């Protein structure tokens, strides 16, 4: 379990690896946020669930490929936004990337470039994407060609 600050306004929220039982609610949350869901079921183990009681109010995933990772599917339920939960979920993923000895975390986004820039990600030319990222379904099919590729390097201890 990583040491991530949970926003006080949200009470006792827990960030935990998702289980197969979480899949339906995660899919519904991503759909409500207009994020791709076609490739989620086979990789549900890559997802983190933000739990408030029995409810899942946020999610994010880290797909990992040796030394690079793909942060994807960051979503917070509309009623729980603007309290820092999105930031907490990203910090969890970055700590998990460090644990897995991932050197660079990439993501694709259509309209949250400014959000991720505040979290330390910088824009990268799509032509420079590592092969592992280029081969993901997110890169090849699910995100439009206009989506911006961003990267954050992970300092290893």
Give the interface with ligand COA as residue ranges (CB under 6 A): 33, 35, 74-76, 81-87, 109, 111-112, 114-115
| Dist. CA 1–CA 132, nearest whole Å | 27
CB of 111 to ligand COA, least distance (A): 5
Residue 51 backbone class (left: φ over 0; alpha: ψ -120 to 50; beta: rest): beta
Q: Give ∠ CA 10-85-155 in degrees, rounded to 5.
A: 140
Measured from each CB, the residue nearest to ligand COA is: 86
Q: Which is nearer to ligand COA, 73 or 102 (CB)?
A: 73
CB of 84 to ligand COA, least distance (A): 4
Residue 12 backbone class (left: φ over 0; alpha: ψ -120 to 50; beta: rest): beta
| Dist. CA 2–CA 111, nearest whole Å | 28
CB of 156 to ligand COA, least distance (A): 25
In three-state secondary structure terms, 157 is coil
Positive/negative CA dihedral, 9, 112, 45, 68: negative
CB of 125 to ligand COA, least distance (A): 19
Q: Which is nearer to ligand COA, 101 or 141 (CB)?
A: 141
Q: Which is nearer to ligand COA, 146 or 156 (CB)?
A: 146
Q: Which is nearer to ligand COA, 101 or 122 (CB)?
A: 122
CB of 92 to ligand COA, least distance (A): 12
Q: Which is nearer to ligand COA, 68 or 80 (CB)?
A: 80
């Amino acid at each position: 379990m990583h040491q991530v600050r949970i926003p006080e306004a949200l009470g006792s929220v827990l960030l935990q690896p998702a289980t197969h039982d979480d899949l339906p609610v995660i899919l519904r949350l991503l759909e409500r946020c207009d994020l791709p869901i076609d490739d989620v079921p086979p990789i549900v183990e890559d997802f983190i669930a933000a739990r408030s009681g029995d409810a899942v109010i946020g999610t994010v995933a880290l797909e990992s490929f040796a030394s690079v990772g793909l942060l994807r599917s960051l979503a917070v339920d509309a009623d729980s936004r603007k309290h820092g939960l999105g930031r907490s979920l990203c910090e969890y993923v970055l700590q998990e990337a460090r644990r897995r000895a991932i050197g660079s975390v990439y993501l694709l986004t259509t309209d949250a470039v400014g959000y991720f820039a505040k979290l330390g990600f910088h824009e990268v030319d799509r032509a420079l994407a590592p092969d592992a990222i280029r081969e993901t379904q997110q890169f090849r099919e699910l995100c439009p060609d206009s989506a911006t590729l961003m990267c954050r390097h992970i300092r290893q201890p």
